[in-house]
Amino acid sequence: MKKYILIAVVLMNAVVFAQKGPKIEFAAKDNTIDYGTVNKEDDSGLRTFEFTNTGDEPLIITNVQSTCGCTVPSKPTEPIAPGKTGKIDVKYNMHTGPIRKTITVESNAVNVEEGRVAIKIKGEVIEKPIVNLLEKKKTSPMMQ
């Protein structure tokens, strides 16, 4: 009996790992792009997620949707052939403060649940400090 269960488990694993169809793999570690700490005035907020179709059929991105209106994603309009790369551009509007946004990518990929995968952006937007050249520099009491 144990022998039959073991054979069934091995066959199930073989079926799962040998899926035919398009597969999406993002280049970004953990599907996340880290903006780091950026100045609001110096950064456009545009970042690009690159992905590869590692499957054996064309990958079709059907929808790319953000969790809020401050993040605008764009999707490829043409199918991505097997072995080829594509990109999803994400434009954040650079509100001052922390960035923690999730974008949902919907596709015909067989290696992600229901063809959906979450990609994320993170970081912090700061305002550039204003330097007043007319203001006298402060010195420490030790320097006087």
Mean residue pLDDT of the chain comes to: 87
Q: Are strands 32-39 and 116-126 parallel, antiparallel or unpaired?
A: parallel
State the pLDDT confidence band at 90, using cuts at 50, 70 and 90.
Answer: very high
**Residues in Cβ contact with 59 at an 8 Å cutoff, skipping those fewer than 6 apart:** 22, 23, 24, 53, 79, 80, 82, 86, 107, 108, 109
Q: pLDDT value at position 129?
A: 77
Length of the chain: 144
Q: What percent of the chain has pLDDT over 70?
A: 79
CA 61 to chain centre: 14
